[in-house]
């Protein structure tokens, strides 16, 4: 083989999940997730991550070699410039596209977090004379060299969202340090929405928000193996369970899963502790993570945006309405939507800024792209549904189509435009239903709004991060307003 | 009993469905729909229609008595004024509300069609010296006196939607007359989206569009009992199949179902034929039906609009964000949306116009209400999902909550605002998921766009039906433009 | 004459304005506003108010007679039911329509304020044993019997809008009582946006917001004649000054004007003081006024909504694009917009609630109508501009059209659709420019956003005033959430 | 001087306009436009074009030197790659910014046209063996070496827009060839919206649309000096005429002007004819021009986008509402709007495609940027107006502020947030009114919708030019739809 590599095979990944981890699903503890029917589908989906580098067509793109000999997953490459970010965006797009628009995310989010810890640890070390950076570096190397699957548990369960961590009904609504020992710390609490937590090798934990000085016990970042004692993951059952490829061409094969992740007094050794009480850095850590992660988010939206366009055009053709002006309007809207997000994503990489030696995607373009995507998704789903027609939920099942009693009539009557054929048309309709009007479609809608931070958070970040100096000066100059003006 | 009534009991209704009808579901013919598990849920839902009049609180509203003795379902009352339309709107709202927002529709749509046939038959008789009106009247009486459940099969399967009935790949893409006999006609074709077809006593058929002179064979309206030879209904399996009241509080109990309805050379005796070849009245018939039916549509939206508001407020309270300005904005938007549709619905009744002695809802307000509802639904779903949070699809199952292993932790961590409790919060979250982010939620989205005519159709009707005379005259008067202007 | 009336003639109104009032315009004090060219146009416009009742076609509608003998302006009629509010809405519409969409407002706003004072004075008298109601009643009679023109000065100049009255840089940012004397009070401060202040007989003053207990000196309501010593009005010069009927068919003849109204230690006798220090009633007074005034607002929008529709249709016809689907879409949107606002306005009257014996328009529908109007105005202006074409601002002047050098060519080349003619087309284009793309058009845009309270205020009122009980109960019932839930 | 240059001075430009051209304004022929008060303001504005290169800070950017010796305006540089397009975008931005957001456009549009003719002439020569390219090249050199001001007259007056050129009421609704002579052609007709036509040295004419074979006489492109016999320009009087810098800080100094340009049997020698009867190339010529010109358009929008942001922020600060969440929302929206257009503009340059050796901006991104800008402009104007307040049209004049009678009170009462001062605040308010709510603001609104092609045209171009292959293939692959499908 032309390269020495550190990449794992799918089989190695699957084997690594048999480690005694504690995963609950529908009220029961799963003994071996690699042999559970629900989990098998998820694992088959995640296995793509390890199959892609074996394809010669992709391997140069999806790996990198720091020393010219060993090749690692490119996800681990610390971004040094726009080019690195653009390539990162490309591999996120590629994996998601090959997985029929369902993001894989066992490398993306973990490295988003590693880059963030890299930056913040340097800043903490500089300001507070701590020694976090070396820990982070060792941990980064460890994950990279073992090609690990990583999950990030950031969002606390929060209780009353109008109150801070210290003001809640009980102390544990945000993950916190309950004991400090000579060899490490003990943490307690629960995190929500841990993507692929039950299928990761490593669980990384960071604060979810800026903290006040009094919230010292909540200022904690660390990483633990998924099978660590006291880590319990309750996998969510939602998002679709159909196994019919005909009715659910995406979700029958690809499935994203989140867990509520409990930390029941979990011990973390010092070498895996990346923040302990430095409240003033909780906000920057949370924010920098989000900046990387929103860039990941907008990168993995490209395939679903293309699919909305492609499905919209296909249905308009099959229904014979591609020439109607309202159909052309809707398709133009879908194109505008998709290409706006994709174009702004590229601008986020091109306009990156350097922080502590790393390229951070431009938060203005990242957040605009995220906001634009999230706030318009439902309306564009509606356009595709409109082009597709009511049959999306009133049509027959595959069995009806295959039945000798009803099949011939259905083929006669559901043909659409000449040359299309009922089966092709129903397949495309089923794609639209699966993507937009099903348990999986509902999952998608919630994901677009809530994943990687809310729309409100994007707006706020944009307001705060935008450098309006030129704009304000232009207004003042033209208005002829004096400079002595205080803000 | 204080009234003599013609209303059936639920048991009578159920018994009437054992009549040898031909219904297919997932590739098999159902022998007795009253004993099929899928159908049982639908029947339980539809049974409400017959239980409501037995409730003393509702019976005055939902029945009427033309002779002061016998009481019939008020649905059959020919609307003579605004008041009749307002009451009709109220009973549609009531039934749908009691059915947790899922419209019952075995009286509504059928009477929409009866009113329409009443008007059009009078017009045909006047212009063409036919004798349709007496047939319609007898049929109306028959349905009313037997308190029948009715379905309307209007939408043809259409083939290539850019072509008319006569221009398609084969002749049968629109239902048509294939033979005329001394005792009646024989019809062939298929209709899509027949709501509750498999559960109706009567299937009424009308054209779906205006027709050209050459389309004579397609100008046909009639009614047949559901068990008529050659009538075959393929029930759609979509819209949710969960039986968990916890996870799917609406769709586990209430289910709308549509069929593709095949007419395999079905014989219709003359007394049940309401149009035969009068192409010039196909358009007016289709349009008048739609005017009544859109009024039905906007009337049965009120409960789901209220539910979106109520769920949005409840979730904001439970999450502790009711005081946040973005949450208040979203709730105000939900209120605006709901009350606009409801207010315009009332205006449609208040501004009705009299046609052939019947009150027809004002098409301007009906279509604006329908358009407003349909074009904004997805965006308001997004607002409720936003207020609810990611747990909607990342949360635990009921079994997890009940399990001694995970239940206590979930109750501790998912409590939300003090005093709410995890179970209450999860129940409300589940309501939101069921309503907006599930197979049923997807069904709802498609329904809002496609049922009762597309958004494009509403826009076009509005453009055509609006009397712009005052507006144009005002513009000309102010612009001082000469009156000699030709249009 | 068949009636004894208390209505003034236009000449009497004009004469009444020669009373020594202090009005500034463009830096100069106007000695006699009835002889100033700028003011003359406004007075000609306002004179309509006194001409309309003389038209037999309108007089029954625009007047009323409490005793069956004397007839007064209907504006003064205390609304006792929906019918009164609907008629009030009609006369507001009528006056505005006859004034080419520019509201007259010398009766509307004053009576909005009188109704409000009627209610609040009763409430204060009941709770605080004051004697305000009799003063209000006498004042109401005085205005009615003398058929006076009234302005209302509500909006304080406010200084830093994030601070309350007592927290500002100086004490006078909100109008306040600076001295209490045996015979009355002395007030100081300034109000912004006083519509037609310089043309009113009476200036009524009320608080602009809810007040804290410490703001006692700011809780003041009163009325003074416009020529009272210390009252100074600075009329705004904006909103268009063209006198060309061809280029500015509306604004050359109709002009709304606001003043900044200064109260330089103005003495008010007790009989004209309607609130003095009752801080707890400042909020209710401001809010009730706004509820009446928003109803006035949505009533006077009807003509401009009709004009947008009429101008849009006319231009589409003249340009030959009425058959294009994008043009039909835009016109349907204009109709939807206009009829939604108009329909909700009627609902606001129909759903009025009774407070202290008076009918108050439903705040839910009023605010939705106002919000809908204000938040969509610009976008609908854009639609009309789109249908009209670039000639709106690149076309020729009337002189070019009349010139023998250029006129014939312009008539040849700017004809539009056959039969229209260049002059008619240019006149309609000029109407669109005047209405939407001129100093007057800009005035309109600002008016729609800011007059009668901001969009934010409408949203907040809606959120607060909406009775969500039914909605929340429906959500809880369906979600099966326990009743013990605290809010 | 360090460079030999071909650039003209402002004085040389002004002198060149005294050439006997025929310009009408308000019904009169202007004898010398350099001495007419209306024109003087425009000329002062356009003079900037010649002053900018004299500023050492800008000259490297705004000029280029093909031979390393002589420097020409960079506008004339044929774009060979993305970098050339980005620089072109920058100089358009710079000029417009220095002109307070009013585009200068006497180089931009002419070179857009020259680039287009360069491409199309090559294509015609290849396909039809004509010799247009050499003519175009000579003409390009001539304009460049003499640093000429150019206008482009493209939009025909069109008559009935639903009819083609040959179907109109008379033959001259589109500019056409009325005679062919041995030395050239004679053209007749009129063009609308010729930007700065009266102030250009050269008038270039191209077709406005695709043409049918029968429209041969309308397939004509050429250029003539502005003073050519038979060329008559009627300058539009709209867009603001105030000379007060205080009230109209932009439009008192900067003014765009369009003409209706008449061609009364104008002779054009062969060397200046660039298309004559080649109907099949009329569409490509019109479209390619539009592709360049829309890129110009989105480039010159950047300053106004920045100004909306800057004015919005400034007003929120001055009014003391910058901390209010609704104000932050509006500002975030303004930023999103501005940066989306700017980011997509860069993408249009980055994704250019090479046609006949020239870099053409990507039409997908150009049209999305244009559409996004044009369809959202009014709504963002509304946001700025909302942040600014009603004083925008109800405030005082400068004279009131300077008057000893009223000035002190106005300074006391209109101060806004502490430290701002009434004059500064009024100046910023005036900027907002001038930009958005005045004759000039109206001009801006029309310009955004109609200049550089309508929104409908952008949508249609997007629909047609978008390569949806990847999207459709993705949909088919996931839906598992057979490849045999015909389109």
D410 pLDDT higher than 80 = yes
What are the angstrom distances between the C-alpha of A255 and each of A99, A203, C242?
9, 20, 67
Contacts of B486 in chain D (CB under 8 A): none
Q: Is B321 on the interface with A (CB under 8 A)?
A: yes
Q: C374, C475, C483: which to substitute to probe chain B, counting the most B Cβ within 10 Å?
A: C475
Write down the residue that tokens 């904005």 correspond to. Answer: B329
C355 pLDDT higher than 80 = yes
Q: Is D469 on the interface with C (CB under 8 A)?
A: no
The pLDDT-based confidence of C103 (bands split at 50, 70, 90) is very high
The pLDDT-based confidence of C69 (bands split at 50, 70, 90) is confident
pLDDT tens figures, A245-266: 999 999 999 999 999 999 999 9
The pLDDT-based confidence of D12 (bands split at 50, 70, 90) is very high
- Quote the minimal CA–CA distance from A1 to chain D in Å: 32
Q: How far apart are CA B47 and CA B11, in angstroms?
A: 8
CA torsion through residues A195, A197, A203, A207, sign: positive
Q: Is D326 on the interface with B (CB under 8 A)?
A: yes
Of A220-229, B269-278, B446-455, D188-197, give the lowest mean pLDDT range: B446-455
pLDDT tens figures, C433-450: 999 999 999 999 999 999
> Starting at the edge strand that comes first in sequence, how are the strands of the sheet with D273-276 ordered?
D150-153, D202-205, D220-225, D273-276
Q: What pLDDT does C6 receive?
A: 80
Q: Which of B305, B158, B170, B372 is nearest to A390 (CA)?
A: B158
Q: According to DSSP H, which parts of C281-324 are helical? A: 282-300, 302-319
Higher pLDDT pick, D482 / D35: D35
The answer to whether B274 touches B117, Cβ cutoff 8 Å, is yes
C5 pLDDT higher than 70 = no
The pLDDT-based confidence of D5 (bands split at 50, 70, 90) is low
Taking CB atoms and an 8 Å limit, are C485 and B368 in contact across chains? Answer: no
Taking CB atoms and an 8 Å limit, are B479 and C311 in contact across chains? Answer: yes
Residues 6+ positions from A56 with CB-CB distance below 8 Å: none
Question: Average pLDDT of chain B?
Answer: 96
Contacts of C466 in chain B (CB under 8 A): 335, 339
The yes/no answer to whether this complex scores an ipTM above 0.85 is: yes
Of C249, C427, C471, the CB nearest to B310: C471
Start-to-end CA distance of chain C, whole Å, equals 64
Q: Is D329 on the interface with C (CB under 8 A)?
A: no
Q: Is C479 on the interface with B (CB under 8 A)?
A: yes
Concatenated DSSP letters of C124-156: HHHHH---HHHHHHHHHHHHHHTT--EEEE--B
Contacts of D329 in chain B (CB under 8 A): 326
D1 pLDDT higher than 70 = no
Region A85-111: mean pLDDT is: 98
Q: How far apart are CA B435 and CA A128, in angstroms?
A: 51
What HEC string does chain D produce? Answer: CCCEECCCCHHHHHHHCCCCCEEEECCEEECCHHHCHHHHHHHHHHHHHHHHHHCCCCHHHHEECCCCCEEEEHHHCCCCCHHHHHHHHHHHHHHHHHCCCCCCCCCHHHHHHHHHHHHHHHHHHHHHCCCHHHHHHHHHHHHHHCCCCEEEECCECCCCCCCCHHHCCCHHHCCEEEEEECCEEEEEEEEEEEECHHHCCEEEECCCCCCCHHHHHHCEEEEEECCCCCEEEEECCCCCCCCCCCCCCCCCCCCCCEEEEEEEEEEEEHHHEEEECCHHHHHHHHHHHHHHHHHHHHHHHHHHHHHHHHHHHHHHHHHCCCCCHHHHHHHHHHHHHHHHHHHHHHHHHHCCEEECCEEECCHHHHHHHHHHHHHHHHHHHHHHHHHHCCHHHHCCCHHHHHCCCCHHHHHHHCCCCCCCCHHHHHHHHHHHHHHHCCHHHHHHHHHHHHCCCCHHHHHHHHHHHCCCHHHHHHHHHHHCCCCCCCC
How far out from the chain centre does Cα B41 lie?
18
Q: Is A332 on the interface with D (CB under 8 A)?
A: yes
Q: Is D420 on the interface with A (CB under 8 A)?
A: yes
- Quote the minimal CA–CA distance from C446 to chain B in Å: 22
Q: Which of A339, A350, A331 is nearest to A373 (CA)?
A: A339
Q: Which of C332, C298, C308 is nearest to C436 (CA)?
A: C308
Question: Given a contact as 3+ CB pairs under 8 Å, which chains touch A?
Answer: B, C, D
- Quote the minimal CA–CA distance from A420 to chain C in Å: 28
Radius of gyration of chain A (CA): 24
Taking CB atoms and an 8 Å limit, are A326 and C325 in contact across chains? Answer: yes
What are the angstrom distances between the C-alpha of C375 and each of B28, B177, B385, B481?
54, 52, 24, 31
* Minimum Cα–Cα distance from D259: chain C residue: C394
Residues 6+ positions from D93 with CB-CB distance below 8 Å: D299, D300, D302, D303
Q: Is A328 on the interface with C (CB under 8 A)?
A: no
Q: What pLDDT does C482 receive?
A: 76
Q: Is C437 on the interface with D (CB under 8 A)?
A: yes
pLDDT tens figures, D275-313: 999 999 999 999 999 999 999 999 999 999 999 999 999
Q: Is D304 on the interface with A (CB under 8 A)?
A: no
Q: What pLDDT does C1 receive?
A: 43
Q: Which of D41, D401, D49 is nearest to D254 (CA)?
A: D41
Q: Which of A305, A436, A337, A439 is nearest to B446 (CA)?
A: A436
Q: What percent of chain C has pLDDT over 90?
A: 96
Q: What pLDDT does D6 receive?
A: 80
Q: Is A466 on the interface with B (CB under 8 A)?
A: no
D483 pLDDT higher than 90 = no
DSSP, collapsed to helix, strand or coil, labels residue A361 as coil
> Starting at the edge strand that comes first in sequence, how are the strands of the sheet with C150-153 ordered?
C150-153, C202-205, C220-225, C273-276
Q: How far apart are CA D381 and CA A131, in angstroms?
A: 51
Q: C89, C328, C332: which to substitute to probe chain B, counting the most B Cβ within 10 Å?
A: C332
Q: Is B145 on the interface with D (CB under 8 A)?
A: no
Give bridge partners of residue C262 from the DSSP assignment: C190, C232
Q: How far apart are CA A475 and CA D101, in angstroms?
A: 11
Q: What pLDDT does B6 receive?
A: 80
Contacts of A398 in chain B (CB under 8 A): 27
Residues 6+ positions from D481 with CB-CB distance below 8 Å: A314, A424, A427, A428, D475
Partner C, chain B 229-268, Cβ-Cβ below 8 Å: 245, 249-250
For residue A156, give the DSSP letter.
B
Residue contacts between B and D (CB atoms, under 8 Å): 5
Contacts of A437 in chain B (CB under 8 A): 439, 441-443, 445-446
The answer to whether B334 touches B312, Cβ cutoff 8 Å, is yes
Q: C454: alpha, beta or left, given left = phi > 0 and alpha = psi -120 to 50?
A: beta
Partner D, chain C 34-93, Cβ-Cβ below 8 Å: none
Q: What angle do CA A187, A193, A195 make, to 5 degrees?
A: 100
pLDDT tens figures, D134-177: 999 999 999 999 999 999 999 999 999 999 999 999 999 999 99
C486 pLDDT higher than 50 = no
Q: Is A325 on the interface with C (CB under 8 A)?
A: yes
Region A176-201: mean pLDDT is: 98
Q: Is B12 on the interface with A (CB under 8 A)?
A: no
Taking CB atoms and an 8 Å limit, are D456 and C326 in contact across chains? Answer: yes
pLDDT tens figures, B224-281: 999 999 999 999 999 998 999 999 999 999 999 999 999 999 999 999 999 999 999 9
Contacts of A326 in chain C (CB under 8 A): 325, 329
pTM assigned to the model: 0.97
pLDDT tens figures, C452-485: 888 999 999 999 999 999 999 999 999 999 754 5
Q: D480: alpha, beta or left, given left = phi > 0 and alpha = psi -120 to 50?
A: left
A195 pLDDT higher than 70 = yes
- Quote the minimal CA–CA distance from A272 to chain D in Å: 38
Q: C356: alpha, beta or left, given left = phi > 0 and alpha = psi -120 to 50?
A: left
* Minimum Cα–Cα distance from D421: chain C residue: C159
Of C396, C437, C456, the CB nearest to D260: C396
Q: A393, A411, A435: which to substitute to probe chain B, counting the most B Cβ within 10 Å?
A: A393
D76 pLDDT higher than 90 = yes
Question: Average pLDDT of chain A?
Answer: 96
The answer to whether D232 touches D264, Cβ cutoff 8 Å, is yes
Burial label for B411, CB within 10 Å (0-12, 13-18, 19+), is middle
**Tokens for D58?**
């800008």
Q: B252, B343, B415: which to substitute to probe chain C, counting the most C Cβ within 10 Å?
A: B343
- Quote the minimal CA–CA distance from B319 to chain A in Å: 6
Give bridge partners of residue B185 from the DSSP assignment: B180, B268
Q: How far apart are CA A339 and CA D463, in angstroms?
A: 12
Residue contacts between C and D (CB atoms, under 8 Å): 270
Q: What pLDDT does B1 receive?
A: 44
Q: Is D325 on the interface with B (CB under 8 A)?
A: yes
Q: What pLDDT does B169 receive?
A: 95
Taking CB atoms and an 8 Å limit, are A472 and D100 in contact across chains? Answer: no
Q: Is C480 on the interface with B (CB under 8 A)?
A: yes
pLDDT tens figures, B22-71: 999 999 999 999 999 999 999 999 999 999 999 999 999 999 999 888 99
Residue contacts between A and D (CB atoms, under 8 Å): 181
- Quote the minimal CA–CA distance from B312 to chain C in Å: 9
Taking CB atoms and an 8 Å limit, are A400 and B27 in contact across chains? Answer: yes
CA torsion through residues C139, C144, C150, C153, sign: positive
Q: What pLDDT does D68 receive?
A: 87
Tell me the pairing of strands D176-181 and D150-153.
unpaired
How far out from the chain centre does Cα A67 lie?
30
**Beta-carbon count within 10 A of A161 CB:** 17
Contacts of A463 in chain D (CB under 8 A): 328, 331-332, 335
Contacts of C329 in chain A (CB under 8 A): 326
- Quote the minimal CA–CA distance from C353 to chain B in Å: 16
Contacts of B459 in chain C (CB under 8 A): 328-329, 332
pLDDT tens figures, B83-137: 999 999 999 999 999 999 999 999 999 999 999 999 999 999 999 999 999 999 9
Write down the residue that tokens 């202290």 correspond to. Answer: C356
């Amino acid at each position: 083989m032309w390269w020495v590599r550190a990449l794992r095979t799918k089989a190695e990944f699957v084997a690594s999940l048999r480690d005694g981890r504690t995963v609950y699903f529908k009220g029961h503890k799963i003994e071996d997730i690699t042999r559970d029917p629900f989990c098998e589908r998820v694992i088959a989906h995640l296995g793509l991550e390890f199959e892609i580098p074996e394809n010669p067509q992709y391997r140069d793109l999806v790996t990198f070699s720091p020393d010219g000999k060993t090749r690692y997953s490119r996800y681990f490459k610390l971004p040094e410039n726009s080019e690195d970010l653009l390539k990162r965006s490309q591999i996120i797009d590629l994996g998601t596209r090959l997985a029929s628009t369902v993001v894989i995310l066992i490398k993306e989010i973990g490295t988003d977090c590693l880059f963030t810890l890299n930056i913040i640890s340097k800043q903490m070390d500089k300001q507070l004379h701590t020694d976090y950076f070396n820990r982070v570096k060792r941990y980064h190397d460890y994950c990279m060299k073992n090609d690990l699957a990583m999950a990030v548990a950031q969002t606390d369960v929060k209780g009353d969202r109008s109150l801070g961590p210290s003001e809640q009904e009980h102390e544990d609504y945000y993950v916190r340090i309950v004991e400090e020992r000579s060899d490490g710390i003990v943490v307690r609490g629960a995190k929500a929405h841990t993507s692929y937590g039950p299928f990761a090798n490593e669980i990384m934990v960071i604060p979810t928000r800026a903290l006040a000085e009094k919230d010292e016990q909540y200022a904690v970042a660390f990483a633990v193996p998924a099978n660590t004692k006291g880590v319990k993951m309750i996998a969510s059952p939602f998002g679709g369970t159909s196994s019919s490829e005909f009715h659910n061409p995406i979700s029958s094969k690809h499935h994203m899963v989140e867990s509520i992740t409990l930390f029941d007094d979990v011990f973390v050794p010092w070498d895996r502790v990346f923040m302990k009480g430095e409240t003033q850095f909780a906000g920057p850590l949370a924010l920098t993570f989000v900046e990387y992660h929103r860039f990941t988010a907008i990168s993995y939206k490209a395939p679903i945006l293309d699919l909305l366009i492609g499905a919209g055009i296909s249905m308009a053709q099959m229904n014979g309405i591609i020439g109607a002006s309202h159909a052309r309007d809707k398709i133009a809207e879908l194109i505008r939507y998709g290409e706006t997000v994709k174009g702004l994503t590229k601008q986020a990489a091109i306009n990156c800024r350097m922080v502590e030696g790393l390229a951070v995607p431009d938060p203005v373009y990242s957040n605009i792209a995220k906001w634009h995507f999230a706030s318009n998704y439902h309306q564009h789903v509606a356009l595709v549904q409109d082009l597709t027609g009511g049959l999306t939920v009133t049509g027959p099942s595959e069995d009806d189509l295959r039945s000798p009693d009803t099949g011939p009539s259905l083929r006669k009557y559901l043909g659409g435009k000449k040359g299309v054929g009922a089966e092709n048309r129903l397949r495309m309709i089923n794609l639209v239903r699966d993507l937009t009007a099903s348990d999986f479609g509902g999952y998608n809608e919630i994901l677009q709004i809530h994943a990687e931070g809310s729309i409100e958070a994007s707006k706020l970040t944009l307001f705060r991060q935008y450098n309006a100096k030129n704009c304000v000066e232009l207004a003042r100059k033209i208005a002829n307003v004096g400079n002595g003006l205080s803000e």
